[in-house]
Amino acid sequence: MRKFKEFIIEKLILICGIASIIFVALIFLFLLKEGLALFKIIPFKSFLFGRNWYPISEPAQLGILPLILGSLWVTVGAAIISIPIGVACAVYIAEVAPVKIKEVLKAGIELLAAIPSVVLGFIGMVTLVPWVKHIFNLPTGLTALSGSIMLAFMAMPTIVSIAEDALYSVPKSYKEGALALGATQWQTIYRVLLPAASSGILAAVMLGIGRVIGETMAVMMITGNSAIIPNSILQPVRTLTATIAAEMGETVVGSEHYFALFAIGIVLFVISFAVNVTADLFLHKRK
Amino acid sequence: MFRRFFTLLILASFCVPALAVKAGDSIQIKGSDTMVNLAQAWAEKYMENNPKVFIAVTGGGSGTGLSSLISNTCDIAMSSRNIKEKEIALAKQRGVNPYEMKVGLDGLAVVVNPKNPVSRLTQGELAQIFSGKITNWKEVGGQDRKIVILSREVNSGTHVYFKEHILRNNDPNSKEEFAPAALMLPSSQAIADEVANNPSAIGYYGMGYISPKQRPLSVAKDAKSEYISPTVENVISGKYPISRPLFIYTNGEPKGLVKEFDDFILSKEGQEIVLKTDFVPIK
């Protein structure tokens, strides 16, 4: 009887354990099934490299190049802003800050992570957007840059907390050795600690970027959503995620527009999967 | 791993079709953002007269309403455009039989910032501005500023109407599109806000949204015609060129509670509400 009980519990835990993998597989299969149907109607190449996105015209033009580039601009901009600040913040928290300030900073960063993205989007819309328009003297402030700045805020908590962990896991003897050889605190940080923690910091950066790519609500509210091929960060852009969110309500199930949105979902899935795998590789290298 | 799972969860939330709950004495109305305030006013008045009935009104755009009628998740779809052939075909496939009822008229106002000296345009000029052929305000008698085009998202009936009647000038063979640089905003309110803050912007919305923070333009059919401002009188008389019918769609001819509500909409009381919410009654 006891053995039987053990058996049941063991199997139950096993099911819970593999449930997440099953969900992932089912979601991916559904995505593939709905998305790949599009390529019976239009060729893969004209979907990925088409320059026009007019999904409800007759015939529909379903080229997502402007959307991919839009996502790229916003993500690169957010990375440029959030990586230096995030890593520097992690170094400060892990190595420099006194205990009291450290606690306050950590709590603050956790709070930043807790702000819902729609709230950040709303704040960005009323404060950041007019500001960007004014400073750069643009026709409109709804630009990729506004999105990048807002998304940088969202990526920072991820980058800071993981990079900070990476810095902590550098063996203490490295630091002690460097200091004993007469290195200053700054020399120790950038010659010894940062290189030793580099793989963990890279993983932090990748996960931060992953968060930025998948973000939807805030970018939809402040990037202007025009499907042009952007050649500057000061232009409005339309991202992959915002396109799905803005248009999913309109599509009739089974239309080519509907399939196209799922195909965009596949593209997004592939991108964020690649980013996460890269991050995982870096994390494992560290261990 | 947690992050990856979370990303998937977000992706997954796009895949799950909306579930709608239906109870006995309730009506689900969904669709055109233009008509949300109107339908809400109808619903409130009707529920006041019939306290047992519950009517839920949600927006999302005409396309959203019609696609949920097709997938049977609402009782009445509001639409500011005619149902498309494609949608009828899809509905028939799913055993839904869309039944159309005209409930009012709406004038579409083209608005600019009050600081913009331009106060009137022809339909042809509007088409050229919104398709990106005219890019500077000085070409139509304004200041030397780049024009910022504001449009609704593609799920909006207003978007479709504007494209077909202004950009394509009612020509079914025309391939004219909104300029790719047009900003696609998620709601009429977003357009109103951006126009209020941006002297280079031009946008369009239902007449009901007109406020002193935006200036509605007078529009002429062509350079020789009279310029007409978007007012209720001008829409009723048919003088104002950009006006469109508002529809509600039901599955088959309305029955029971839905029929009573539809009768209320067409009654004198219902049509007075149309006028009160800045639309134009049909009777």
Per-residue pLDDT tens for A142-160? Answer: 899 999 999 999 999 999 9
Question: A 114-143 residues with CB below 8 A of B?
Answer: 130, 133, 139-140, 142
Please list every residue in chain A whose beta carbon sits closer than 8 Å to the beta carbon of residue B63: 56, 249-252
Query: Tokens at residue A274, please?
Result: 């690649």
Average pLDDT for B85-112: 90
What tens digit of pLDDT does each residue of B24-53 get?
A: 588 999 998 888 889 999 999 999 998 888
Question: B 147-166 residues with CB below 8 A of A?
Answer: 147-148, 153-155, 160
The residue written with tokens 């952007």 in the block is A230
Largest CA distance in chain A: 78
Largest CA distance in chain B: 67
> Rg of the Cα trace of chain B?
20
Most confident option among B6-15, B106-115, B166-175? B106-115
Taking the whole predicted model, whether its pTM rises above 0.90 is answered as no
Closest-CA distance of chain B to residue A178, Å: 35
Closest-CA distance of chain A to residue B27, Å: 20
Inter-chain CB proximity B153 and A254 less than 8 Å: no
Q: Is the pLDDT of residue B2 over 70?
A: no
Give the chain A residue whose CA is nearest to the CA of B195. A140
What region does A182 belong to: left with phi over 0, alpha with psi -120 to 50, or beta?
left
User: Helices B268-276 and B256-266: crossing angle, nearest 10°?
Assistant: 60
User: Helices A65-91 and A256-286: crossing angle, nearest 10°?
Assistant: 30
> Rg of the Cα trace of chain A?
23
Looking at residue B23, its pLDDT comes to 45
Please list every residue in chain B whose beta carbon sits closer than 8 Å to the beta carbon of residue A224: 183-184
Contact A195, A134 (CB under 8 A): no
What tens digit of pLDDT does each residue of B187-245 get?
A: 888 899 889 988 999 999 988 788 999 999 999 988 888 999 998 888 888 889 888 88
Long-range contact set of residues B54-59: C-beta below 8 Å, sequence gap at least 24: B54/B23, B54/B25, B54/B26, B54/B27, B55/B26, B55/B27, B55/B29, B55/B261, B56/B26, B56/B27, B56/B28, B56/B29, B57/B29, B57/B30, B58/B28, B58/B29, B58/B30, B59/B30, B59/B31, B59/B32, B59/B33
Q: Is the pLDDT of residue B14 over 80?
A: no
**Positions of chain A with pLDDT under 70:** 249-250, 286-287
Nearest to A140 among B4, B11, B198 (CB): B198
A–B: how many Cβ contacts below 8 A?
124
Q: Percentage of chain B surpassing pLDDT 90?
A: 41
Query: Tokens at residue B167, please?
Result: 């950009």
Closest-CA distance of chain A to residue B240, Å: 27
Q: Is the pLDDT of residue B71 over 90?
A: no
Q: Which residues pair with B29 in a beta bridge?
A: B57, B76
